[in-house]
Structure 1
Amino acid sequence: MQHKTLRGLITASLLAGLAGAAQAHTGHGTQSFMQGLVHPLGLDHLLVMVAVGLWSVTALPRGKAWQGPTTFMLALLVGAFMGAMGFIVPYLEHAVALSVGLLGMMLIASRTALPTGLGLGLVAAAASLHGLAHGAETPASGAAGYAIGFLATTAALHLGGVFTGLGIRRALNQRAGWALGGLGAAMGGAGLFLFGQLAA
């Protein structure tokens, strides 16, 4: 029964993210707190932020799961500041889509001993890309409310990933690694799908 419930929650989350896939960075407002709250629910952001929580509780030393979400949010802020200052990266949207696949591979690799510094560095790199994308589209007015809303949802998604990872470990015990690997593979496929949509 626990396995069916967990599977249902994961499926519902992925479907909800797919519903917002087309709204990742276009056709949305960036001038209010509420718009900031909603924006991370686009597929690319949702998957990456949940994956950071999942990876952190699985791959980082016990008691240090907070380092993944903290690293992500700090790098996100730095990237957003750089984007607002006009720093441009070619094919940024493509790189953001590939970051979904990167986090998927990290989930698959969480069954092995990935060095903590390398893992956190990859988390920071992915967050910087997302931050650059947001900073480039943030207006001069209303930016503070939008940023607060965006960060609040980001933190909630990280926590969701952490609690999901803990739930998977508790429910599946020795098979938790396989479940996370399956989620990572699905996320990698989602990243390729998003990249293909941009490249088409």
Structure 2
Amino acid sequence: MNYRTIAAAAALLALPGLAEAHPGLHADGAFSGFSHPFSGLDHILAMVAVGFWASTLGGSARIIVPSAFVAVMALGGVMGIYGIELPMVETGIALTVAMLGLLVAFEVRVPTMAAAAIVGICALFHGHAHGTELPGMSSAAGYVAGFMMATVILHAVGLGLAALRFGRTGQIVGRFAGALVALSGAALLAG
């Protein structure tokens, strides 16, 4: 995988939010969107887990699975911005964290398109949560571009961490990390 391409794409996603006609009035859209995924451990764990799991699936899944997450998350974000209801968003987010942790912990292998569908469902909840928190007077386009860029970075972190696993010890550490993510999701569910 070419990480320079991912970094360049992330930088390009930020540009619309930076090209505002009224600086100061809407400039926080891209920054707010970028910072939102980093504001909650639930989002960080889920997005890193997606990248990690995609890496363990290998091949084209390393691109397709995170891309599916980003695309559906953007859709969920737009739904949230426009007030389209999605039931049990916070519960859904907690469940996705637990589920993604389990997928990593047990190194679940499914076809790439099935993995893309699984993470897409997860992404809908995360995106909706992002969208409903659009700050007033912010550029919606910049906000969405910002949280998409942050998500790409978090996926790249997961991909990179999975690439660092070597031998049996690395596999055990990866599974243990997945179990911790799953337990975090269970803790979120418990409230």
Report TM bin, short chain: 0.7 to 0.9
Distance between the aligned counterparts of 2:160 and 2:188, measured in 1?
Answer: 26
Which residue does the alignment assign to 1:100? Answer: 97
Which residue does the alignment assign to 2:30? Answer: 33
- The answer to whether residue 128 in structure 2 is matched with residue 132 in structure 1 is yes
Q: What is the identity percentage for the equivalent residue pairs of Structure 1 and Structure 2?
A: 33
Partner secondary structure for residue 32 of structure 1 = helix
- The answer to whether residue 184 in structure 2 is matched with residue 190 in structure 1 is yes
Contact 1:49 1:157 in 2 (8 A): yes
Residues 75-154 of structure 1 correspond to what in structure 2 (within 5 A)?
A: 75-110=72-107, 112-139=108-135, 141-142=137-138, 143-154=140-151
Contact 1:31 1:138 in 2 (8 A): no
CA gap 1:83/1:107 in 2 versus in 1, 3 angstroms: same
Q: Give 1:144 shift.
A: 2.3
Q: Give 1:192 shift.
A: 1.1
Q: Give 1:178 shift.
A: 2.2
CA gap 1:64/1:114 in 2 versus in 1, 3 angstroms: closer
Distance between the aligned counterparts of 2:35 and 2:180, measured in 1?
Answer: 23
Distance between the aligned counterparts of 2:79 and 2:94, measured in 1?
Answer: 19
CA gap 1:50/1:33 in 2 versus in 1, 3 angstroms: same
- The answer to whether residue 51 in structure 2 is matched with residue 53 in structure 1 is yes
- TM-score normalised by L of structure 1: 0.74
Q: How many residues align?
A: 163
Q: Give 1:150 shift.
A: 1.4
Distance between the aligned counterparts of 2:142 and 2:60, measured in 1?
Answer: 32
Unaligned runs of 5+ in 2: 1-26
Distance between the aligned counterparts of 1:84 and 1:32, measured in 2?
Answer: 12
Contact 2:36 2:130 in 1 (8 A): no
Q: Could you report, residue by residue, the CA deviation over 1:110-141 in whole angstroms, capped at 9, with x for unpaired residues?
A: 2x532323222110000011111122232563
Distance between the aligned counterparts of 1:92 and 1:100, measured in 2?
Answer: 12
- TM-score normalised by L of structure 2: 0.77
Contact 2:60 2:112 in 1 (8 A): no
- The answer to whether residue 185 in structure 2 is matched with residue 176 in structure 1 is no
CA gap 1:145/1:181 in 2 versus in 1, 3 angstroms: same
Partner secondary structure for residue 66 of structure 1 = helix
Which residue does the alignment assign to 1:44? Answer: 42
Residues 160-171 of structure 1 correspond to what in structure 2 (within 5 A)?
A: 160-168=157-165
Partner secondary structure for residue 149 of structure 1 = helix
Q: Give 1:45 shift.
A: 0.6
Deviating above 4 A after TM superposition, structure 1's stretches of 4 or more consecutive aligned residues are none
Distance between the aligned counterparts of 2:54 and 2:131, measured in 1?
Answer: 25
Q: Give 1:31 shift.
A: 4.7
Which residue does the alignment assign to 1:14? Answer: none
Q: Give 1:78 shift.
A: 1.1
